[in-house]
Structure 1
Amino acid sequence: MRASVASKLRSLRTAGRPALRTRGAPEPWTAPRLIAWTAILVALAESAWLLYPSVRARVLSLEETPAVRGYRLAAGIGCFSCHGPGGNGGTKNPGSEEGEVPAFGEQTQMMYVKGEQDLREYILDGAPRRKREDADYRTKMEAAALRMPAYRPFLSASQVEDLVAFLRATSGQIAPDEALAARGAERAAELGCFACHGPLGAGGVSNPGSFKGYIPGFWGGDFDELVRDDGELRQWIAEGGIPRISEHPIGRIFVRRQVIKMPAFGHGHVQSPEDIDALMAYLRWIRAGSWKSLTRVAAGG
């Protein structure tokens, strides 16, 4: 009887108290709690996605050659509004002798420019001093609807050099003398290599989804990371990739998801294996930097 009364008293004391959980037991997943955690995870994922480009830029060694900087600067200061997209010409210029604004490429520069100093003066003052002092030249320029502006008040010395680097790279005047490499230069132009890899392989063309966010060029460390020897270079050209990257657990993810993919030129796009030899010789010529001496020679022409 006493035991029964005691039991009832204990029941009365604990009545209305919340049930005690065992320490460490997880809380039940209620709908509001599930929604809250889902929102947190979505916010974290969104933050990671937004921060990825800046984090990538800090962690990875992103390349930007002077020619790439010059290209972006040219786009930013309005050069392509007159000289055409990418400096490829086509903008009409009523009243001028040519009928249109000259392009930067296809060796057009040789008709107007004697060397790098001429390029600098075109950029800074609208024309080289020797032309500005020529009365006939001034008359021709006054008759044209579009005239080259003077950017001297708006550009730093380093920006001018970046523009010169871009103009030289895209000029079409820098080519190897050695026969095999020269043939490779012709094939590279025919296959459209520079549309993706930049003028003279300067790189910098955006490629969403790729490891570094752009298509690598031929000038710097990106090339060294992707091409360890001639065997890999041949595979890149012929097959559009190499197993070292396409079969890597992380590398293959970027290879699959990048928007622009390297074509496999060995599958019906080159005439013979010798064409690949020529392309390799041309790339090695670019890597050797011989074209830089050609730029200096042109400056003294």
Structure 2
Amino acid sequence: MKPASAFKIVFIVALVAAAGGGFFYQYERAPESSPVSRGAHLATTAGCFACHGLGAEDPRTNYRLGSNDAWRSRGIDPIWEEGLLEADEVIEWITHGVPERRRERHQQLLLRMPAYGDDGHLSPREINDIAAWSLAEAVRRSHRPARFEPLPDVAAVAALSDDDLIRRGDALARDSGCYQCHGELGQGAVSNLASFKGYIPGFQGDDFLALTADGDREEVRYWIEHGRGRALESGPLGGLASRYLDQQAIPMPAYADIFDDVETEILVSYLLLLNRMGPLDAQGVEALAITLISDSE
């Protein structure tokens, strides 16, 4: 083979390898989202906070026409109205601007809720995303987990029903700050500068599986105890993974000295259950909220 031909072959192989590597890199960095995380963004772009504010601490004013044809000042309820945990009702508000049974009173308001679905401003999926986020916010702002008697040993964790595991796992995750970084109910949406994807992954999707060797229990446990991934850093791209873990603005803390063996087992099982449940839509958040709220009833 002539040297020029050999050079061309090497050049082509190198070019293909570089292109393939670039494609793989971009594929791996493709962002992942959940209905809750998408809903948080949509609530801003749709202007929800302009009328509803950021909660009870950020009140907004409206006027209602009274029976004597006089306008009276009144407040606007927050998006995550306490006690409003029914997905269909939230979706009805966003889609039609008001549930039909409340339309007559709504007409007496000076500022009226837009009908984002009827007017074609938002698709059904986008409406469900906003509903999922608002329901998750309602849980975050109003749910106070019950206190549970400690389990006797690790074996007792495996005997828990899914509902009991959800209640105990949520209480532990909430009290330990897991949701502060991984999003309410582990649904993501927290930015993290200089990290591989620019955000802290939730527990609900493929990011979690990629970081935990496809949901391996011992790998999930290692992350919780050490704040890093053993399989991730020992793999073929371990050096790159370590660099991103070292440089990211918000590192994962190590809980080895915080949790005992039973608490760690509860959290491992809970995170794996959340991942099996997948990204929660509005109906999924509602179902989980009902399970959580029943722990104090």
Same fold, judged at TM 0.5 (above): yes
Distance (whole Å) between structure 2 residues aligned to residue 73 and residue 293 of structure 1? 14
Does the 8 A contact of 1:82 with 1:91 survive in 2? no
| Distance (Å, rounded) in 2 between the aligned partners of 1:251 and 1:245 | 7
Residue of structure 2 in register with 1:125 after alignment: 96
Deviation at 1:255, TM superposition (A): 0.6
Counterpart residue type for residue 128 of structure 1 = P
1:66 maps to which of 23, 27, 35: 35
Greater Rg over alpha carbons, structure: 1
> Secondary structure in 2 aligned to 1:110?
coil
Counterpart of 2:240 in structure 1 is: 250
Aligned to 1:92: 59
Q: What SS class does the counterpart of residue 239 from structure 2 fall into?
A: coil
Residues 1:110 and 2:83 aligned together:
yes
Alignment partner, residue 151 of structure 1? 116
Residues of 1 paired with 2:282 and 2:92: CA distance? 20
Q: Structure 1 vs Structure 2: percent identity of aligned residues?
A: 33
Contact 1:184 1:278 in 2 (8 A): yes
- TM-superposed CA distance for 1:246, in Å, is 4.2
CA distance, structure 2, for counterparts of residue 282 and residue 172 of structure 1:
17
Distance of 2:209 and 2:24 partners within structure 1: 23
SS of residue paired to 1:250? helix
Partner of residue 6, structure 1: none
Post-superposition CA distance 1:23-43 (Å, at most 9, x none): xxxxxxxxxxxxxxxxxxxxx
Gaps of 5+ in 2: 1-22, 64-72, 146-160, 291-297
Letter in 1 for 2:116: Y
* Structure-2 change in CA distance of 1:125 and 1:181 (3 Å): closer
Contact 1:181–1:281 (8 Å) recurs in 2? no
User: Which of the residues 210, 228, 235 maps onto 1:241?
Assistant: 228
Question: 1:264 aligned to 2:249?
Answer: no
Alignment partner, residue 172 of structure 2: 187
Once the two structures are TM-superposed, the CA of residue 185 in structure 1 deviates from its matched residue by 0.2
Q: Give the letter for the 1:110 counterpart.
A: G
> CA offsets per residue over residues 93-123 of structure 1, 9 Å max, x none?
457999563352xxx4534x5x322112211
| Alpha-carbon shift at residue 57 of structure 1 (Å) | 4.6
| Unmatched tracts of structure 1, length 5 or more | 1-53
Superposed CA deviations along residues 2-39 of structure 1, whole A, max 9, x for unmatched, are xxxxxxxxxxxxxxxxxxxxxxxxxxxxxxxxxxxxxx
**Larger strand percent:** 2
Q: Distance in 2 between matches of 1:297 and 1:191?
A: 21
> What is aligned with 2:209?
224
Q: CA deviation at 1:178?
A: 2.9
2:269 corresponds in structure 1 to 281
